[in-house]
């Protein structure tokens, strides 16, 4: 046996192994809808930013509900400037003091309460942002799924039209067909190529958008499953969805907390009609080192308070401001609730429309169109059907199949919209 033979075999095995490894490494993992939503919730920086804001807001209530820090002071009183001797004058003293500002009773509690309501609103904003993120991910994912199916259909129709071109050329060469049939098939093939370019560009844009939501490079490739469940659920009644949204929608809960914040700030503004206080005490030490001197130290106490004398221009105007802000928040809550109901009704209608289209295309139109194409092709091969009608029937089938996947995608997008509008996944019967 030649000594080079084992080395050659090993080389072949290594080359084959490297080729298989390269092929495997370039294969993209399939991104399911569930995996996409989990990645978005875990990695999306926009959601993380809103969550960090909510955590910061949660740290505020205890700060504003606590008394201000006390002040410690040190001073020298009645120090003679000619000698700066603390023993020269009887009233000279070194004084140490402490003071504490005390807001009018109830103000601290109202400040803490308002900050607590604001923190709750921020927590609801995180939940709302999460639902919006899930909605956007689902809608873009379904758009990509539709585009993949549309591209598959285009490629299949391109193959069929190439077969039609071959058939037309054969019939033309033997004198049984027309040259215009060949040109017509080539024209329709070119149109499909143009549609393919448009769909590829649209898919690239959708891929970049989904990658951005998943916090991945915009050019990272995305491979979706080839098949999904094509069964669409039955929704709850529209009135039941309204009720669920009123109870579960985080956006509405956030707006209610904003109303509470405004109400509390109004109550706090009314408290500003009353004074704030400052209490303090100081201890003055006198130098007793002089002969025959026995001087007592001094203890001083103080109590001061603010005097709200500009009521009309300050406190009353603050109350007017807070009253208007409260009305604004109430109107905003009502306006938001009206928009939520309108969005639910729109998505509800869109879902039922597209669901009916899915059923109609799948059970009626597409099977009939396929039968028509098969019949047309058989008739054309025996000269009973003209080529134009054959091509038209195939293009019609292509359009129907594309519309079916588009309707299925839009129905699932409407479901994603409804879940986000209601604030719950449980929207089915």
Residue 125 lies in a domain: yes
* Residue 283 domain flag: no
Look up the pTM and report it: 0.82
Per-residue pLDDT of the chain (429 residues; tens, 9 = 90+): 344 434 444 444 444 444 434 433 345 688 999 999 999 999 899 999 999 999 999 999 999 999 999 999 999 888 888 888 777 777 888 899 999 999 999 999 999 999 999 999 999 999 999 999 999 999 999 999 999 999 998 888 888 778 777 776 776 666 665 667 667 777 878 888 888 899 999 999 999 999 999 999 988 898 999 888 888 999 999 999 999 999 999 999 999 999 999 999 999 999 999 999 999 999 988 877 664 667 788 899 999 999 999 988 999 999 999 999 999 999 999 999 999 999 999 999 999 999 999 999 998 998 998 888 888 878 877 777 777 777 788 888 888 999 999 999 999 999 999 999 999 888 887
Helix (H) or strand (E) holding 76: strand 71-77
Whether 107 maps to a domain, the answer reads: yes
What span, in angstroms and rounded, lies between the C-alpha atoms of 138 and 68? 49
Is residue 405, in this structure, part of any structural domain at all? Answer: yes
Q: Kindly report the CATH number assigned to the domain that includes residue 43.
A: 1.20.1600.10
* Tally of domains within the chain: 1
Q: Does 2 reside within a domain?
A: no
Question: HSE of 359 in the Cβ direction (CA atoms, 13 Å)?
Answer: 8
Is residue 415, in this structure, part of any structural domain at all? yes
**Cross-strand bridge partners of residue 98:** 72, 281
> In the numeric block, which tokens belong to residue 226?
């080839």
Q: Which of 9, 373, 16 lies closest to 164 in space, CA to CA?
A: 373
Domain that holds residue 234: 33-67+103-273+308-422
Q: How far apart are CA 157 and CA 194, in angstroms?
A: 13
Residue 284 maps to a domain: no
At residue 348, the pLDDT reads 94
pLDDT of residue 127: 94
Structure tokens at 10: 């090993």
263: in domain: yes
Q: Taking Cα atoms as reference points, which of 238, 54, 229, 207 lies closest to residue 137?
A: 207
């Amino acid at each position: 046996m030649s000594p080079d033979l084992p080395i050659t075999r090993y080389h072949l095995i290594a080359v084959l192994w490297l080729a298989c490894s390269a092929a495997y490494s370039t294969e993209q993992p399939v991104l399911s809808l569930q995996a996409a939503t989990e990645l978005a919730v875990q990695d999306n920086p926009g959601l993380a930013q809103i969550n960090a804001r909510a955590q910061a807001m949660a740290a505020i209530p205890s700060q504003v509900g606590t008394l201000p820090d006390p002040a410690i002071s040190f001073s020298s009183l009645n120090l003679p400037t000619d000698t700066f001797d603390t023993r020269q004058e009887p009233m000279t003293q070194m004084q140490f003091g402490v003071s504490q500002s005390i807001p009018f009773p109830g103000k601290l509690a109202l400040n803490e309460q308002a900050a607590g309501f604001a923190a709750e609103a921020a927590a609801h904003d995180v939940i709302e942002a999460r639902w919006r993120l899930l909605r956007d991910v689902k809608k873009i994912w379904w758009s990509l799924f539709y585009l993949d199916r549309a591209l598959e259909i285009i490629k299949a129709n391109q193959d069929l039209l190439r077969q039609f071109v071959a058939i037309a050329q054969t019939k033309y060469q033997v004198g049984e067909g027309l040259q215009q049939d060949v040109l017509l098939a080539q024209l329709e093939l070119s149109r499909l190529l143009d549609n393919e370019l448009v769909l590829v560009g649209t898919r690239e844009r959708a891929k970049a958008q989904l990658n951005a939501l998943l916090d991945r490079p915009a050019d990272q490739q995305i491979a979706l499953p080839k098949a999904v469940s094509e069964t669409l659920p039955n929704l709850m009644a529209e009135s039941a969805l309204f009720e669920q949204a009123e109870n579960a929608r985080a956006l509405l809960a956030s707006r209610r907390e904003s109303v509470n914040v405004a109400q509390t700030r109004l109550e706090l503004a009314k408290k500003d009609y009353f004074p704030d206080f400052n209490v303090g005490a100081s201890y003055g030490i006198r130098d007793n080192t002089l002969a025959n001197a026995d001087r007592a130290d001094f203890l001083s106490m103080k109590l001061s308070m603010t005097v709200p004398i500009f009521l009309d221009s300050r406190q009353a105007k603050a109350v007017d401001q807070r009253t208007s802000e409260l009305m604004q928040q109430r109107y905003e809550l009502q306006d938001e609730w009206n928009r939520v109901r309108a969005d639910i009704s729109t998505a509800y209608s869109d879902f039922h429309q597209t669901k009916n289209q899915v059923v109609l295309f799948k059970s009626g139109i597409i099977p009939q169109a396929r039968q028509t194409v098969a019949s047309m092709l058989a008739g054309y091969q025996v000269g009973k059907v003209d080529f134009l009608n054959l091509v038209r029937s195939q293009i019609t089938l292509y359009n129907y199949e594309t519309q079916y996947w588009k309707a299925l995608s839009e129905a699932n997008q409407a479901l994603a919209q409804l879940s986000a509008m209601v604030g719950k996944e449980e929207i089915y019967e």
